[in-house]
Amino acid sequence: MLAVTEPRPITTPQAPAVLAAPPGEFQPPSSHDRADRIATAIVTLLPVVALLVAIPLAWGSVLHFYDVVVFVLCYIPTGLGITIGFHRLLTHRAFETTPAIRAMFTIFGCMAIEGPPIEWVANHRKHHTYSDEEGDPHSPHVNFGGGVTGALRGLWHAHLGWVFGGGMANEARYAPDLLADPVVRFVDRTFVVWVLAGLAIPFGLGWAITGGTIDGALTGLLWGGAVRILVLHHVTFSINSLCHYFGNRDFETTDHSTNLAWLAPLSFGESWHNNHHAFPRSAVHGLGARQLDLSALVIGGLAKAGLAWDLVVVSPERQERKRCAGE
Ligand SMILES: [Zn+2]
Ligand SMILES: [Zn+2]
């Protein structure tokens, strides 16, 4: 495996020359805004409604072992699409890979329906720029007041409320490199196609596993589509809310980021979020010996196979310099 011991600085290419003035903080309004907000509300709330429907249905024996199989088969690649694709590769460039693998993880990430990749990356880079300060798109700590009410308002905003508030980060300012990347730009432009594919696949899996029954296809769509989207949404949202509020801090950072061990298995290692804020470009977030990080294991496997290289590795010495006193 090729490795570099010190993270390279992020060198984003210049914004397209057509921009006369430096791009502002927020994405300029477009004719799609209203439709985007409605679509976001639908895809975020629909899985909640679907799960409420699914639970009584399951008690009526509509939840079978094959539904669990379809759930797992859909959850793992789309989860890794977010953690490896959107986050570690596109946002932080924690490693390099082939255009085909970059496209594959980006497409899987689209199937999670957390927005198109360039919008996701722009917001997340802005989160790192202003972590828990004015300008952070989803900090639970800025301007929510004290007490239980302030805490709940902050957590709601960080978890989901910010999505409905508008003010998405300006893509030309925060992700000019991706706007100039033909592979990512193509997947971004065809986002809806991948969303639909991410629903057709569990439908097809359920149909195939049950020997071609429509009941199997529909419960496949329910558990591998709607429920899988719901669970993955709230796992991702919990990184923004819970992992800036509850848990341990192993490293000194200027924000409130935390490590939340119980969320590591479902979040594929993303809940080692204090580690991540301390070393944003590290390919590994579970830096501790017993910190489970499936995303890092997959990236390591790709590197062994020669399909990933230039992994950003943080040396033990560098980790020690940032470690909280008493750790
Ligand atoms: Zn964070
Ligand atoms: Zn990050």
Q: How confident is the model at residue 12 (pLDDT cuts 50, 70, 90)?
A: very low
Residue 44 or 99, more confident: 99
Is the pLDDT at 54 greater than 50? The verdict is yes
Tens of pLDDT, residue by residue over 145-160, are 878 888 888 888 888 8
Closest ligand relative to 240 C-alpha: 1
What confidence score (pLDDT) does residue 296 get? Answer: 98
Is the pLDDT at 312 greater than 70? The verdict is yes
Q: How confident is the model at residue 136 (pLDDT cuts 50, 70, 90)?
A: confident
What confidence score (pLDDT) does residue 144 get? Answer: 81
Tens of pLDDT, residue by residue over 269-304, are 999 999 999 999 999 999 999 999 999 999 999 999
What is the residue-averaged pLDDT of the chain?
87
Closest ligand relative to 279 C-alpha: 2
CA of 174 to the centre of ligand 1 (A): 16
What confidence score (pLDDT) does residue 139 get? Answer: 87
Residue 235 or 150, more confident: 235
Residue 243 or 10, more confident: 243
Closest ligand relative to 239 C-alpha: 1
Lowest mean per-residue pLDDT among 106-120, 160-174, 238-252, 256-270: 160-174
Angle between helices 65-80 and 99-110 (to 10 degrees): 130
Is the pLDDT at 93 greater than 90? The verdict is yes
Q: How confident is the model at residue 261 (pLDDT cuts 50, 70, 90)?
A: very high
Closest ligand relative to 276 C-alpha: 2
CA of 71 to the centre of ligand 1 (A): 27
Closest ligand relative to 92 C-alpha: 2
What confidence score (pLDDT) does residue 154 get? Answer: 86
CA of 243 to the centre of ligand 2 (A): 12
Is the pLDDT at 249 greater than 90? The verdict is yes
Tens of pLDDT, residue by residue over 180-213, are 999 999 999 999 999 999 999 999 999 999 999 9
State the average pLDDT over residues 18-39: 61
Domain boundaries of the chain, sorted by first residue:
31-256
- β-strands 3-4, 311-312 pairing: parallel
Q: What would the 3-class secondary structure string for the chain be?
A: CCEECCCCCCCCCCCCCCCCCCCCCECCCCCCHHHHHHHHHHHHHHHHHHHHHHHHHHHHHHCCHHHHHHHHHHHHHHHHHHHHHHHHHHHCCCCEECHHHHHHHHHHHHCCCCCCHHHHHHHHHHHHHCCCCCCCCCCCCCCCCCHHHHHHHHHHHHHHHHHHCCCCECHHHHCHHHHCCHHHHHHHHCHHHHHHHHHHHHHHHHHHHCCCCHHHHHHHHHHHHHHHHHHHHHHHHHHHHHHHCCCECCECCCCCCCECHHHHHHHCCCCEHHHHHHCCCCCCCCCCCCCCCHHHHHHHHHHHCCCEECEECCCHHHHHHHECCCC
Tens of pLDDT, residue by residue over 69-87, are 999 999 999 999 999 999 9
Task: Report the percentage of the chain scoring pLDDT > 90.
Answer: 62
Closest ligand relative to 241 C-alpha: 1
Is the pLDDT at 234 greater than 70? The verdict is yes
What confidence score (pLDDT) does residue 43 get? Answer: 59
Is the pLDDT at 15 greater than 80? The verdict is no
pTM: 0.84
State the average pLDDT over residues 250-272: 95
What confidence score (pLDDT) does residue 64 get? Answer: 83
CA of 11 to the centre of ligand 2 (A): 16
Is the pLDDT at 17 greater than 70? The verdict is no
Instruction: Measure Cα distances from 212 to 74, 199, 209, 264 in Å.
Output: 19, 17, 7, 36
Closest ligand relative to 136 C-alpha: 1
CA of 128 to the centre of ligand 1 (A): 7
Least Cα distance to 207 among 37, 85, 67 occurs for 67
What confidence score (pLDDT) does residue 200 get? Answer: 97
